[in-house]
């Protein structure tokens, strides 16, 4: 029996002790920093009138693959149905036929389902906060994970520009509270993109495919976009007209200097009412203290569910955006049978948390008590409990032979003072503290 078990263990490959690829562990100091950043975001959004909700980590597979999530649907993790048989496996034409649930790949699809479920219990205009992990079957690489946190705010039920203005001002306020000032808003509108493609001469049936390529402008550059459009066989005259348009000044046009600056980077024939509408939105954001706004005629935002204004947060020192969002009227209607106006903004938390230098437990007095191995546990816990009335955090640590590494670890974890517990220590007043920093 023993030899058989031993042989099994020898032949069996030991499981890895590292997290799955694209997923991470967080040590206490890093976890504390992440929670501090999340706390700042939460409190800022709450101060702006948004309410936090929570949805399940899984949704029905049919909902996750209903055409609402764009390319992210291809990255969804599926969950196999329970009780599958060999016949089920043989009949399945694709892997999705075997799944009835899936891990959420974003927070917008769950939100629309949540709203459809609880609409009668919610206010006419619902302002939601969602902060939670999502999962995508990405190819792991630097800055791209299979599990990551999204921080979303959404306004459902407001058809006018008030929704966009509130979303943008609340988001920029959260970034400022984290010390990330100087951000600018890149602004466009999916309806204007449609009008622009019409004016350039692209067939209406080709618009979605053309925008997929235009959305790569930041990655493959102007020449790459034009070359790909030519390779894909779109109307040659329209591609030539787009080439001329993209060759105009590269920097986004600052707003709200008025619609004139927008017309300078747009083709003739675009919808003038949309130009005026975007200029007015930019003016409203600036007047509300939401930050500087730039008009970017080639900002697409990859999700196909956007129906109106789209926007991103840009930082002058960073080559990537810190978040983005837009209006997605019609998405909620997929569950209700009637359209409900909606708009949302998502902060790129995993990018932001690496930029924020935040001390752990700012303003908190965290102390550690060093004790010998044989010290009475009851006395130690009594000292700890009494000390909690004076300090924010108290930790008991057995004194090692070499105390220096322990003191360095405590300091890295945010502890500010340390004291030794000896046989002469009767109460808190007998403790003599020394600083760790």
Task: Tell whether 10 is covered by a domain.
Answer: no
Same domain, 197 and 222: yes
Same domain, 70 and 113: yes
Task: Tell whether 15 is covered by a domain.
Answer: no
Same domain, 333 and 392: no
Same domain, 303 and 320: no
> 308, 342, 377: which is the final residue of a domain?
308
Task: Tell whether 385 is covered by a domain.
Answer: yes
Same domain, 195 and 304: yes
Task: Tell whether 221 is covered by a domain.
Answer: yes
Same domain, 162 and 240: no
Same domain, 27 and 173: yes
Two structure tokens written together for 129: 């906060």
What are the residues facing 102 on neighbouring strands? 59, 78
Same domain, 27 and 166: yes
Could you tell me the residue range of the domain that residue 426 belongs to? 366-435
CATH number of the domain encompassing residue 59: 3.30.930.10
Same domain, 171 and 227: no
Looking up tokens 């008030």 gives 162
Task: Tell whether 17 is covered by a domain.
Answer: no
Same domain, 373 and 244: no
Same domain, 302 and 244: yes
Task: Tell whether 4 is covered by a domain.
Answer: no
Same domain, 46 and 139: yes
> 308, 342, 374: which is the final residue of a domain?
308
What tens-digit pLDDT sequence spans the chain (437 residues)? 444 444 434 556 777 888 888 899 998 888 888 999 999 999 999 999 999 999 999 998 888 887 766 677 888 888 888 888 787 787 877 777 788 898 999 999 999 999 999 999 999 999 999 999 999 988 877 778 899 999 999 999 999 999 999 999 999 999 999 998 888 899 999 999 999 999 999 999 889 889 888 888 878 888 888 888 898 998 889 988 988 888 765 555 555 556 777 887 888 888 999 999 999 999 999 889 888 888 988 898 877 788 999 999 988 888 888 999 999 998 888 888 888 999 999 998 998 988 887 554 444 688 999 999 989 999 999 999 999 988 888 999 999 999 999 999 898 888 899 999 988 888 888 889 999 87
Q: Per the structure, how many domains does the chain have?
A: 3
Task: Tell whether 60 is covered by a domain.
Answer: yes
Task: Tell whether 14 is covered by a domain.
Answer: no
Long-range contacts: 238-245, Cβ < 8 Å, 24+? 238/197, 238/200, 238/201, 238/202, 241/200, 241/201, 241/267, 242/200, 242/214, 245/196, 245/200, 245/297
Two structure tokens written together for 267: 């083709």
Task: Give the predicted TM-score (pTM) of the model.
Answer: 0.84
> 297, 331, 358: which is the final residue of a domain?
358
């Amino acid at each position: 029996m023993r030899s058989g078990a031993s042989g099994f263990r020898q032949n069996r490959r030991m499981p890895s002790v590292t997290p799955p690829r694209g997923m991470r562990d967080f040590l206490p100091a890093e976890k504390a920093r992440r929670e501090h950043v999340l706390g700042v975001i939460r409190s800022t959004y709450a101060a702006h009138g948004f309410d936090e909700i929570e949805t399940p980590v899984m949704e029905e597979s049919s909902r996750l693959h209903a055409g609402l999530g764009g390319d992210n649907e291809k990255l969804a993790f599926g969950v196999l149905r329970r009780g599958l048989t060999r016949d089920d496996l043989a009949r399945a034409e694709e892997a999705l036929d075997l799944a009835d649930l899936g891990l959420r790949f974003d927070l917008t699809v769950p939100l629309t389902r949540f709203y459809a479920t609880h609409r009668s219990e919610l206010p006419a205009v619902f302002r939601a906060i969602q902060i939670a992990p999502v999962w995508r079957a990405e190819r792991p690489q630097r800055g791209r994970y299979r599990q990551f946190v999204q921080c979303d705010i959404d306004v459902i039920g407001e058809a006018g520009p008030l929704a966009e203005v509130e979303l943008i001002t609340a988001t920029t306020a959260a970034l400022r509270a984290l010390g990330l000032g100087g951000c600018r808003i890149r602004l466009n509108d999916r309806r204007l993109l449609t009008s622009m493609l019409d004016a350039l001469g692209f067939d209406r049936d080709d618009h979605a495919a053309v925008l997929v390529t235009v959305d790569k402008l930041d990655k493959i550059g102007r020449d790459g976009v034009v070359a790909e459009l030519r390779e894909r066989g779109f109307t040659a005259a329209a591609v030539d007209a787009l080439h001329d348009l993209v060759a105009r000044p590269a920097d986004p046009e600052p707003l709200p200097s008025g619609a004139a600056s927008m017309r300078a980077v747009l083709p003739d024939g675009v919808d003038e009412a949309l130009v005026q509408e975007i200029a007015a939105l930019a003016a409203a954001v600036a007047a509300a203290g939401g930050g500087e706004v730039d008009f970017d005629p080639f900002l697409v935002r990859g999700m196909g569910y956007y129906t109106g204004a789209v926007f991103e947060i840009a930082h002058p020192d960073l080559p990537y955006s810190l978040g983005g969002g837009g209006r997605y009227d019609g998405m909620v209607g997929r569950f209700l049978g009637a359209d409900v106006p909606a708009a949302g903004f998502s902060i790129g938390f995993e990018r932001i948390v690496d930029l924020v230098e935040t001390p752990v437990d700012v303003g908190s007095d965290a102390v550690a008590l060093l004790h010998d191995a044989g010290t009475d546990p009851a006395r130690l816990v009594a000292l700890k409990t009494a000390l909690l009335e004076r300090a924010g955090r108290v930790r008991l640590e057995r004194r090692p032979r070499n105390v220096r590494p322990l003191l360095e670890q405590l300091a890295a974890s945010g502890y500010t003072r340390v004291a030794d517990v000896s046989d002469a220590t009767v109460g808190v007043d007998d403790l003599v503290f020394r600083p760790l920093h």
